[in-house]
Structure 1
Amino acid sequence: MNSALFNAIYRLLTPLVRFLLRKEVSFDAFSQLARKVYVDISEERLLESEGKATTSRIAIVTGLTRKDVAKLRTLSVDSSAMTPRYNRSTKVISGWLHDSDFCDSRKQPRMLTPEGEHPCFESLVSRYSGDMPYRAMLKELLGTETVELSPTGKVRLLKRSFIPHDDESEGISILGNETHNLIDTIDHNLNSDSKDDLRFQRNVAYDNLPEEALPEFKAFVEENGQRLIDQFNRKLAAEDRDVTGDTKGTGRMKAGVGIYYFEEPVGEETAKDNNGKES
């Protein structure tokens, strides 16, 4: 393993292991899961390149024993990318923001009566969340302070995104999904043979900032980042079959953009390796 790759993996694992230790996940448990991923990805690649993936071939590729490979191939792991609750809540909010039935003349989300004549919150949930009872969705969004009830009893949208702060398991699901997307994009760009096939990947950071500068910048990111996310949301929602109901085309693809803010103290070694710049 060359030095650059070793350092990259070390940096990648540092926050992950910090998180795992906080959750009391032992190295043995992590090691078992890592072996499982090695087996699954090796099997996937062998099927693509050779048309078959035997236990022996996977053992050769991964360096694991045939006994371990055979056992790991039968190990089941829940690989759902998003929990239904998060996905449904997000679709309801997106529909509220972009469906003309639920927006006013200024294209802003209407205040909705909980139930009754269309448009109402019940019909919004029915359109974008399938068979989930609207009262359960309302309770969910009230609990996360995504919506509020006005003095007249109407439902008002407060936030343009859904973040399940109260449910740790869903937050962990988001961690896995969004980190997967970022690493997958970087891997794609590193292995792409064509500049035209590169995915957008940008980062700006400076490493000699005073602590007092961070609150203002963080607020700046939240305001402008949300505005940009709203633009991306409108563009994707206009093409998504779950929203439009009749978008033509072939296949089923997932695409999106992630924006995140980060900060950390700078140690001596980090300062040597990083100069403030855009990448």
Structure 2
Amino acid sequence: MDMPIHQVLSDAVVRIMRPLARVLLSHGMAYGTFAELAKRAFVEEGFLLVQRDGKRATVSAVSALTGLTRKDVSRIRESEALLDGGASQRYNRAIRVISGWINDPAFNDASGEPAALPLEGGDWSFAALVRRYSGDIPAAAMLSTLQASENVEVRAGNAVLVERAYIPKATPLEKINILGKDVGELVHTIGHNLEVLPEQRFFQRKVSNASIAAATATEFRALSTRKSQALLEEYNAWLTQHQSESDETVGEPLRYVAVGIYYIELPEQEQ
């Protein structure tokens, strides 16, 4: 009875792994490195799963669950993950700065649009915006990041927001960070929906059509980009209005929430 489930799961893993393998190979990661990272993921999730089940999270328990040797589990558990949070931090803070610029009336013009801000000076400047929404990142560093991503231009001494969607363009490390963050969140949502009751599932849908001509696909890509950006900006404005600065203000632990929209286009042989 378990065989069909395991076969479907195996097929799903291959479908996930093929585009991931394409990215890894194109950036020079050998299989041995990936295998070691896979072991780390199994060990870290193994400990969490054992704890969630109310059991004692021991090396032996995780070894039995994952199929890894106790030696491997101990080695991975005792070593520190070689992860650099810098790219993730820049990504998140750049988004916060743009969001504040769009939604905070203190940095809008008379028509409610993001104002052209002087680089320095007082409470109404790009530096003030960065201080409010990016913590301790210097204004000059954030300006450089947003210029590199082509979100901001400097005109006559003022910072001007020219593109609302933050997508790193000159920083490959930040693009790769998005791979881990966004794909991980999608897989987490699908995994959650496989385990819970229907009324507890997270929203996860898509539309697709396998019979679209190339010219029509180009037209739809433009349409979906425009409408998706508008919807995400609406969500972002709502979240900004309802965010809490600390868990003390709501009396319970804060939650991370996100909604993602993506577009994909494949030739017929890869569908």
Choose between structure 1 and 2 for higher RCO, CA contacts under 8 A separated by at least 6 residues: 1
- Which residue pairs with 1:211 in the alignment? 214
Answer yes or no: is 1:264 the counterpart of 2:261: no
- Which of 119, 124, 127 aligns to 1:119? It is 124
The worse-fitting range, judged by mean Cα deviation, of 118-127 and 94-103 is: 118-127
1:6-155 alignment runs, 5 A limit: 6-77=10-81, 78=83, 80=85, 83-150=88-155, 152-155=156-159
The answer to whether the Cα contact below 8 Å between 1:147 and 1:157 also exists between their aligned partners in 2 is: yes
TM-score, structure 2 normalization: 0.91
The worse-fitting range, judged by mean Cα deviation, of 69-78 and 171-180 is: 69-78
After TM superposition, what 4+ stretches of structure 1 lie above 4 angstroms from structure 2? Answer: 79-82, 244-247
CA drift of 1:241 comes to 2.7
Change in 2 beyond 3 A, CA 1:13/1:81: farther
CA drift of 1:218 comes to 0.8
CA drift of 1:247 comes to 5.5
Residue identity opposite 2:258 in structure 1:
G
Residue identity opposite 1:265 in structure 2:
P
- Which residue pairs with 1:274 in the alignment? none
The answer to whether the Cα contact below 8 Å between 1:207 and 1:266 also exists between their aligned partners in 2 is: yes
Residues in 2 aligned to 1:165 and 1:108: alpha-carbon distance in whole angstroms: 24
Q: Secondary structure at the match of 1:227?
A: helix
Q: Secondary structure at the match of 1:149?
A: strand
The answer to whether the Cα contact below 8 Å between 2:93 and 2:133 also exists between their aligned partners in 1 is: yes
- Which residue pairs with 1:277 in the alignment? none
Residues in 2 aligned to 1:15 and 1:114: alpha-carbon distance in whole angstroms: 42
Please, what is the CA RMSD of the aligned residues? 2.1
Q: Secondary structure at the match of 2:202?
A: coil
The answer to whether the Cα contact below 8 Å between 2:46 and 2:65 also exists between their aligned partners in 1 is: yes
Answer yes or no: is 1:232 the counterpart of 2:235: yes
Residues in 1 aligned to 2:224 and 2:19: alpha-carbon distance in whole angstroms: 22
The answer to whether the Cα contact below 8 Å between 1:82 and 1:177 also exists between their aligned partners in 2 is: no
For residues 194-220 of structure 1, give each alpha carbon's deviation from its aligned partner in whole angstroms, at most 9, with x where no partner exists. x22111111011112211212111111
The answer to whether the Cα contact below 8 Å between 1:115 and 1:123 also exists between their aligned partners in 2 is: yes
- What is the identity percentage for the equivalent residue pairs of Structure 1 and Structure 2? 35
CA drift of 1:47 comes to 1.8
TM-score, structure 1 normalization: 0.89
Residues in 1 aligned to 2:137 and 2:194: alpha-carbon distance in whole angstroms: 42
Residues in 1 aligned to 2:251 and 2:154: alpha-carbon distance in whole angstroms: 40
The answer to whether the Cα contact below 8 Å between 1:81 and 1:173 also exists between their aligned partners in 2 is: no
CA drift of 1:84 comes to 1.9
Answer yes or no: is 1:199 the counterpart of 2:202: yes
- Which residue pairs with 1:255 in the alignment? 257
The answer to whether the Cα contact below 8 Å between 2:120 and 2:128 also exists between their aligned partners in 1 is: yes
CA drift of 1:249 comes to 4.4
Residues in 2 aligned to 1:81 and 1:182: alpha-carbon distance in whole angstroms: 22
Structure 1 portions without partners, runs of 5+: 271-279
Residue identity opposite 1:236 in structure 2:
L
Q: Secondary structure at the match of 1:148?
A: strand
Residues in 2 aligned to 1:82 and 1:192: alpha-carbon distance in whole angstroms: 33
The answer to whether the Cα contact below 8 Å between 1:125 and 1:132 also exists between their aligned partners in 2 is: yes
Change in 2 beyond 3 A, CA 1:75/1:245: closer
Change in 2 beyond 3 A, CA 1:81/1:143: closer
